[in-house]
Chains A and B, each alone.
Chain A
Amino acid sequence: MIPVWMGLRVKQGELLMTKTRKIVYYAFFITLATALGVFEAMLPNPFPLPGVKLGLANTITILALYLYGLRDGLAIAALRVLFTSLLVGTFLSVGFYLSLTGAVLSTLVMALCIKAFPVLSVMGVSMAGAVTHNLGQLVMASLLIQTPYIFYYLPVLLLAGIPTGLATGYLACLLLPHLEEKKPHI
């Protein structure tokens, strides 16, 4: 049985085959994003600061946003964080809540950029997303650990968002044109 929420964006009267395609793409994205997340978690981190990470899985979020819009992008991002944390073993830990806040906030901000600032290319959007991701994590961390002193990391994290954002954006650039033509039209 097909859960209804998956079909939310499908208009009435659509062929079942289109729905299936959509579901398959969804699953594909979520799985790939999770895989990237787990992979990244296994990499040795050259930067010792909390919150500085490559954010490879964010590439998928960007793709989803461009292809399907905010609602799907948000769902895929949130589910990605959830599954990654389950697999890595950080579910419900402090790090999990940080990731979740960062991912949700950055997805929202990126969607806003796509809609309201079309002058920004994919690179710009993903940079905005990366910076927001770090900022959101910092704010959440200061709330959970109840200390303002974590904001001493602010300048570094803001700067770090630039290269990671650009890297993620570059990857998205590579993939987007290929997917555009193949995505199921609604």
Chain B
Amino acid sequence: MKKRYSTLLVVMGIVAVLLLVGYPLFTQRAILQNYTGEEFLMDTFVSISTYGTDTALLREATRQAFQEMRRIAELTDRFATVAPERATGEPHNPDKANASNKEQAPGSEGRDRHNADLDTVPTGESAVARINAMAGIKPVRVDKDVFTMLQMAQEYHQLTQGAFDVTIGPVMDLWGFGQERKQVPAPEELQAALSLVDSKDMILDEESQSVFLKKKGMSLDLGAVAKGYAVEKAAQILEKAGVKQAIINAGGNIRVLGKKEEQPWKVGIQDPRNPEALIGILSLTDESAVTSGDYQRVKEIDGKSYHHIISPLTGYPAEENISVTVVTPDSGRADLLSTALFLMEPQQALALVEQIPDTEMFLVTDDKKIFYTSGLEGKIELTPGEEYAYAKKMAD
């Protein structure tokens, strides 16, 4: 009798202790966790920072996001060619490759089998490198993503009246960005290269999902759009995996998902003339901010600096602006537009942005005047140094 009573008491005691201790733990809201992954891709440091209550989910989503970014990086790297094939000179068999499994537009499978005029991208080579290699020869069927990027590029080539052009490859090669050339190109060389620059000579065929550069010597450079596009795909992957709060930072190309903790993400805009200072602070929710600046990649030749944003119209680095930041939900569009608008005159740029929905711009001209679109009201906190002056902001 005594024994039973004592065990009962002990059990009650344990239960009581468990209740008292467990109560606060069970009534806690789950603590927000953070999982951050970092990798070096596309010549930049990429960091994906996710927030949520399930760490395993965050980790898996981040892994998938990086996988996708790597895939896009491989597709668009114009210097990724297959060395052995070039050495032997033996072309790979497009017909055999055609028959293999590739993402294609629906309904075109039958047609391709008979279309021996279509080249495909061999494994190990990037789509862009292949397109460039086949310039003036034959169209190349490519991945859906590469095709989409080029369609976007084509669209904005028209909208910016030629100020933006992905066929600028030949000019970029002359300047040697991406390689080790150390000379200012001669005007005749630039003229010759410019004659190969024209997006109208880039033929995109939706049915076969192929790209054809009409003239031999033409080449594509997707540097202005690939990073943003990759970041956007990564963001989509995160979202699909269930991540609700995240921030992706690919060397200054920012894309955020959701809010940080009830508050929008705070992203600073770098002062183009002072790496330690900010010229403004943006409040972002579910959108992207990308900046093109003349301080990002600079070549010093004979005491003068030349930056990497080359105008397809003049062949020289653009002079009117020193920093353009675009804020819009799609990071691929943000990346592309930031370069495109940088290459335009400020007033033209403002006029163009006002036509594009959900897109805002913050521009700094060569003589340190700041223009920004009215949509940024309430989203931006301005913190420029003394030497900056405000010009007009465009009203909607």
A and B in contact, CB less than 8 Å: yes
Partner of A144, one of B5, B13, B20, B24: B24
What residues on A are CB-neighbors of B24 within 8 Å?
97, 144
Q: Is the CB of A174 closer than 8 A to any CB of chain B?
A: no
| CA gap between A146 and B23 in the complex, in Å | 16
State the Cβ distance, B24 to closest chain A Cβ, in Å.
Answer: 6
Q: Is the CB of B6 closer than 8 A to any CB of chain A?
A: yes
Q: Is the CB of B9 closer than 8 A to any CB of chain A?
A: yes
Q: Are B23 and A3 in contact (CB under 8 A)?
A: no
- Looking at B2, B5, B13, B20, which has the most chain A CB atoms within 10 Å of its CB? B20
Partner of B2, one of A4, A92, A100: A4
Q: Is the CB of A152 closer than 8 A to any CB of chain B?
A: no
Interface residues in A, total, Cβ within 8 A: 8
State the Cβ distance, A74 to closest chain B Cβ, in Å.
Answer: 12
What residues on A are CB-neighbors of B28 within 8 Å?
144, 146
Q: Are B6 and A92 in contact (CB under 8 A)?
A: no
What residues on B are CB-neighbors of A47 within 8 Å?
none
Q: Is the CB of A5 closer than 8 A to any CB of chain B?
A: yes
Q: Are B31 and A3 in contact (CB under 8 A)?
A: no
| CA gap between A52 and B13 in the complex, in Å | 31
* Contact residues, B1-57 vs A (CB, 8 A): 2, 5-6, 9, 13, 20, 23-24, 28, 31
* Contact residues, A60-100 vs B (CB, 8 A): 92, 97, 100
Partner of B9, one of A5, A92, A100, A146: A5
Q: Are B23 and A92 in contact (CB under 8 A)?
A: yes
Q: Are A146 and B6 in contact (CB under 8 A)?
A: no
State the Cβ distance, A23 to closest chain B Cβ, in Å.
Answer: 15
What residues on B are CB-neighbors of A4 within 8 Å?
2, 5-6, 9
Closest 6 CB pairs of A and B: A4-B6, A97-B24, A146-B31, A5-B9, A144-B24, A4-B2
* Chain A contact residues, CB within 8 Å of chain B: 3-5, 92, 97, 100, 144, 146
In the complex, 15 of the A-B residue pairs with CB atoms within 8 angstroms, ordered by the A residue number, are A3-B9, A4-B2, A4-B5, A4-B6, A4-B9, A5-B6, A5-B9, A5-B13, A92-B23, A97-B24, A100-B20, A144-B24, A144-B28, A146-B28, A146-B31
